[in-house]
Amino acid sequence: MPEKEHFGARVSSSHTRSIGITHRTTPLACSWTGDMRVRFSDFQVNEIKKDGAVLHLRTIGLGNEIKARIPEQSQTPKGENSDTPQNEKSQPEQTIEIPQEDVTVLENLATAQFAQDLIKLFNHGNGPSSNDPNTATSPVLDDKSKRGQLHQEVRRIFRSRLETTTGHDGVIVANYVSPRKGGKKSRGRRGQPGDDEPMGEYLHFTLYKDNRDTMDAVSQIARLLRIKPQVIGYAGTKDRRASTTQRCSVRYQRKRALAGLNGKLWGISTGDYDYQDEPIHLGQLLGNEFVITLKNCKMANETSTQPPSERLSSMRDNVESALKHMSSHGWINYFGHQRFGTHDVGTHEVGKLILGDNYEAAVNALLKYDPEIAAKAEAGEIPEEPSKRDEVLRHQACMLFQTGKDYDRAAKIMPRRFAAESCIVRHLTRMGKNSARDFAGAITHITRGLRSMYLHAYQSHVWNHAASQRYALHGSKVIKGDLIISDGEAQPVVAEKDQDGDEIINPVEDEEDAPLRARPLTEEEAASGKYTIYDVVLPSPGYDVIYPDNEIGKFYEEFMGREENGSLDPHKMRRLRREFSLPGRYRKIMQKFLAEPSVEFRLYEDETEQMHPTDLDLIKNVRVNGGEGKRKRDDDDGMAVKKSKADEVLPERVTEEAKNEQQSLDDGAGESIKAEQAAQPTKVAVVVKFQLASSAYATVTLRELMGDGSDEDQQPSANGNAEG
């Protein structure tokens, strides 16, 4: 079970204010707290498609995995229908030996591992084992002549049953080609169900995951499919400590290949397959629906002597009033805590160093470690639990590298899930002394997505502080120089999205002719009443945005120019390295729900009780919130079910002592136990359901709803309350 997070007033800290989150716009009678993610299924996220429909997982796999495992061919009863001809069912798996001299040729042209992968792939087409791969992928091969020779040798050795292609990065991918059937060549394993199924270019599927982040789930799926993670598309990343549902796409894969992964990956299920002509891209969603259960909820002014029903009633009045105000008036559209990371050095701090061309400091920040944890790891004190083990190994690897104790071992033990650290250590140890101080190269070797995350975090840090300054000075009043999105022809034709769904302004080479996406309001327009605070936007720093034509524009210059913020100039955001140049983007100051929110209040006693079913629960028909079969905790398979009293079976033979004990319970000796079981629940849970745009943060929404323990909880800013 994941560790619970204390939310509400208890998260008010210097860190919250350090990232610019300082104001609330919602009146609240009293701030309150709650424990979030007591179970990871207490935090549920479902994508909202472009048409406004909420995405749910409807079926797992091809539809029959829910009821039972798909039987092996050898276990299929005689006479049952099957897509596989009877004469092929009885054929045993064939393994064809490849001469050693041919194996040596393949090893000399590529690697021994790739040679073995090709042999396994070849035999994969001659037998029914579902554990065999669908493709074989070589390492990067820079020698073009060797690649050409390898293509020829693969065709010769495997009698044209393996088809090879070269990617733009020098990687060769091999696929098995089935023999012709009826004059038509088909891909796939011979005699398997679905061979005759038409295959589109992109297979879209619904990904459900428990306690896994999106990139980790995608990497695990790609590993088993033997493809690169980059060929799996998704509209946005989802929380790790949550139960989430999202739509993904993968190129050149069959439904049965993906369905075969169900049950092989912990916490991951796929289904609802559909072929489409286009892949899924980042930002290709309207938003997300959240169902969040907060347990052990308490108001700041409640006392221990208040009865549970009274506490629940007070909580209901307080929360419903605040939620109604938020639904009507919205709240400040801050970037949430997760934008800035959870390590000692925030992601925005790394971004600041990169933008300041201080690459060595950026590398040191990313490789920062705890000496005490590293020392314990060196002494052999390494946890067994995978996630904790990886954390400890990261500290150990960073220590080995930073102290120069053992570069090779540092690169070897660094867990791959720490992608940035892995890229840096591998690059700086790749060519010995020649690359040991190539800090700029090390940063550029980090994957594009991670690099962008650091830079976007710095932009978000500046935006949060600018939004707070804007609200502190003017509240909901529209003023001269405020920016609004331009109309009609001033809009750029194309806008990209980042990993959080925010629009990114495309670079334009000729800045004088650049189509502006926003313009400042004149004094007359600001006073006209035509525009409200919901029309006003603020820019993230970039070379292709403009800044407010008022004191807020000056604030960008003053804030970014501070030494602690990088001594940067918001008007000079181009860099010699193009990948570090930021075009900028616009973001509305205020955020609103996409649909009417709802909230439920419950009394409970068991902290592990699940209050709302996940998509997986609904498919597997698991009951929650009381009753038999209630999910009680998040186990490894995510589907641990507690038996009710009626389901328990007593042994046929029991000792006389056990009989007497049972009789004593019936006679009233167990009254104290029965009284405890019948006791009225005393804890309060709040289950809130709301829909947010793709660029909004659920944690910011909860802070607005729950307060942070400040005076602002009782009364919004004196300059206005965002009523528009």
pLDDT-based confidence at residue 709 (cuts at 50, 70, 90): low
Determine the pLDDT at residue 320: 96
Helix 347-355 vs helix 448-474: crossing angle, to nearest 10? 100
662 pLDDT band (50/70/90 cuts)? very low
**Mean pLDDT, residues 306-326 taken together:** 94
Cα–Cα separations (whole angstroms), residue 557 to 253, 314, 409: 50, 46, 45
pLDDT at 198: 62
CA distance 158 to 136: 13
pLDDT of residue 14: 60
The mean pLDDT value of the chain amounts to 79
Looking at per-residue confidence, does 129 or 451 come out higher? 451
Q: What angle do CA 676, 680, 685 make, to 5 degrees?
A: 120
Overall average pLDDT of the 247-264 stretch: 92
- What's the confidence (pLDDT) of residue 178? 62
According to CATH, the topology of domain 198-285 is Alpha-Beta Plaits (3.30.70)
- What is the Cα–Cα distance from 683 to 514, expressed in whole angstroms? 58
Q: If you average pLDDT over residues 189-216, what whole number do you get?
A: 74
Half-sphere exposure in the Cβ direction for 514 (13 Å, CA): 17
Choice between 446 and 433, residue whose per-residue pLDDT is larger: 446
Evaluate whether 26 touches 704 at the Cβ level (below 8 Å).
Answer: yes
pLDDT greater than 50 at residue 92:
no
pLDDT of 155 > 60? The answer is yes
User: What's the pLDDT at 66?
Assistant: 47
Is the pLDDT at 651 greater than 60, yes or no?
no
List of residues 6+ apart from 535 with CB closer than 8 A = 478, 484, 485, 588
Q: Hey, do 100-176 and 198-285 end up sharing a CATH topology, with the first three levels equal?
A: no
pLDDT above 70: percentage of residues in the chain: 74
| pLDDT tens digit sequence for 595-620 | 999 999 999 999 999 999 999 999 88
What integer pLDDT is reported at residue 673 of this predicted model?
45
- The per-residue pLDDT for 622 is 58
- For residue 626, report the phi and psi dihedrals to the nearest 5 degrees: 100, 160
- Supply the pLDDT for residue 624: 52
Burial class (CB in 10 A: 0-12, 13-18, 19+), 495: middle
Among 235-244, 268-277, 497-506, 533-542, the minimum mean pLDDT is found in: 497-506
Mean per-residue pLDDT for 230-257? 92
Confidence at 667, pLDDT banded by 50, 70, 90? low
Residue 638: predicted pLDDT: 37
Between the alpha carbon of residue 360 and those of residues 367, 388, 424, 453, 529, the distances in Å are 11, 28, 11, 18, 51
What does the pLDDT read at residue 431?
67
Mean pLDDT, residues 503-512: 33
Higher pLDDT, 671 or 30: 30
Predicted pLDDT at 498 = 45
Going by pLDDT thresholds of 50, 70 and 90, the confidence category of residue 693 is: very high
Q: The tokens of 615 are what?
A: 């998509």
Mean pLDDT of 466-474: 97
Min mean pLDDT across 410-424, 507-521, 698-712 is at 507-521
The confidence band for 172, taking pLDDT boundaries of 50, 70 and 90, is confident
Tell me yes or no: is domain 100-176 CATH 3.40.1350: no
Across 487-495, average pLDDT = 45
**pLDDT digit string, tens, across residues 47-90:** 999 999 999 999 999 875 443 332 333 333 333 333 333 333 33
Q: Which residue has the higher pLDDT, 204 or 438?
A: 204
pTM of the model: 0.71
Tell me the Cα Rg of the chain. Answer: 30
Mean pLDDT of 408-432: 88
Alpha-carbon distance values, 96 to 127, 159, 180, 392, 701 (Å): 11, 12, 19, 45, 61
Domain boundaries of the chain, sorted by first residue: 100-176, 198-285, 339-450
pLDDT at 668: 52
